Amino acid sequence: MKGIGRRDFLKYCVGSAAVLGLDLTVMGRLQKALAGAHPTVVWLNGANCTGCTVSLANRISSDGPTDIADLLINYIDLAFHPNLMGASGDLAVQTLHNATDGAGFILAVDGGIPTAFGGHTCMLWTEKDGREVTAQEAVLDLAPRAIATLCIGTCASFGGVPAGDPNPTGIKSVRELTGVKTINIPGCPTHPDWVVWTVAQLLAGVSPSLDGDGRPKTLFSGDSKNIHDRCPRREREEADTFGQEGQCLKELGCKGPRTQGDCPTRLWNGGTNWCIGANSICLGCTEAGFPDQFSPFYKYEGVGGEDHGGGEDDGDDHDGDKDDGDDHDRDDDRHRDYGR
């Protein structure tokens, strides 16, 4: 990977500002922040598939000098990342301690945190005295001391796939485990632009406004707009089987009506395509309760697919069964087992 400097990073941000959604105020503050000292980022992996790191590492800038892993390692001072850093063993552990013992640091957590069996289903490192440190222990120690805690992907944000029923390892989200207010950047995987946008905000000294699920409103539109509202297939004829190009996938189980995210306009893989554009339904992967409360995936959720906001029981009950009044589209009951 190539190394880059401050000017390159700023050039990258300016070139990508529109795509990333960085406004001029943030850009100005970012420029000032980058001229001085800025915090390091420490990245921990809980129970995950490493998909969010892969997604991030695959972010190739078409107009910037580098890929995102290069950016993180060489500019944003990513002091510790189990998959991307060169150091290993005692050296890696010492680097982690150096980064977190003194000046402020940003903690990024990728993956849910196992709590069953004393947390011993997920070990992060071994101290020199032979003591093994669990993800649970590490996150409980570091999250309260961090300048900000970023939950990268749905697993760290809400529990995600590892927390799916019957959740044998007792997975919790970072917020549920620690009680610390986290900035959640969900998605299975998360979008690399969402991570870059959020880190840029923090480096610029801006605290992003969050929605009720701890997600940056700018990226996920708060509770006011969802995938369905912005989908180019809205109002199109509804497909009754897969492979019908350009048709609405609601009858095939699409979860776009109750899923927040700017996927329809941002697109994925460097602007190439997105799930629905590839004729797949939206699975609801940016939402708390994914996957259990979005399963079965390929089941029509009913005529009331338009309803997604608010939180009052309006009777359309998007959990896929008959209307039993539990209104699993946006209210607190939906999050009962997910830490909020």
Q: Which residues are catalytic?
A: 49, 52, 155, 188, 228, 231, 248, 254, 263, 275, 282, 285
Cα–Cα distance for residue pair 301/327, rounded to 1 Å: 12
When the beta carbons of 117 and 298 are compared against ligand SF4, the nearer one is 298
When the beta carbons of 38 and 318 are compared against ligand SF4, the nearer one is 318
Supply the minimum distance, in Å, between the C-beta of residue 69 and ligand SF4: 31
CB-based closest residue to ligand SF4: 256
Helix pair 24-35, 6-20: axis angle to 10 deg: 160
Supply the minimum distance, in Å, between the C-beta of residue 208 and ligand SF4: 25
Cα–Cα distance for residue pair 75/68, rounded to 1 Å: 10
When the beta carbons of 114 and 256 are compared against ligand SF4, the nearer one is 256
Supply the minimum distance, in Å, between the C-beta of residue 87 and ligand SF4: 44
Q: Is the omega angle on the peptide bond into residue 189 within 30 degrees of 0, that is, cis?
A: yes
Query: How many other C-beta atoms can be found within 10 angstroms of the C-beta atom of residue 128?
Result: 8
DSSP letter at 8 equals H
* Residues forming the site for ligand SF4 (CB under 6 A): 227-228, 231, 233-234, 248-250, 254, 256-257, 276, 282, 305
Angle at 219 between CA 213 and CA 223, to 5 degrees: 45
When the beta carbons of 228 and 334 are compared against ligand SF4, the nearer one is 228
Query: Kind of pairing, strands 123-126 and 132-134?
Result: antiparallel
Cα–Cα distance for residue pair 209/183, rounded to 1 Å: 9
Supply the minimum distance, in Å, between the C-beta of residue 291 and ligand SF4: 17
Supply the minimum distance, in Å, between the C-beta of residue 259 and ligand SF4: 8
Cα–Cα distance for residue pair 160/338, rounded to 1 Å: 9
Contact of 117 with 134, CB cutoff 8 Å: no
Where does 147-226 have alpha helices with state H? 154-158, 174-178, 192-203, 217-220
238-265 b/e (C-beta count within 10 Å ≥ 16 → b): ebeeeeeeebbbbbbbbbbbbbbbbbbe
DSSP letter at 44 equals E
Q: Which helix (H) or strand (E) holds 329?
A: none
Query: Kind of pairing, strands 78-80 and 40-45?
Result: parallel
When the beta carbons of 33 and 227 are compared against ligand SF4, the nearer one is 227
Cα–Cα distance for residue pair 313/330, rounded to 1 Å: 9
Supply the minimum distance, in Å, between the C-beta of residue 255 and ligand SF4: 8
Q: What tokens appear for 21 in the block?
A: 């959604």
When the beta carbons of 64 and 305 are compared against ligand SF4, the nearer one is 305
When the beta carbons of 186 and 253 are compared against ligand SF4, the nearer one is 253
Cα–Cα distance for residue pair 144/179, rounded to 1 Å: 9
Supply the minimum distance, in Å, between the C-beta of residue 260 and ligand SF4: 12
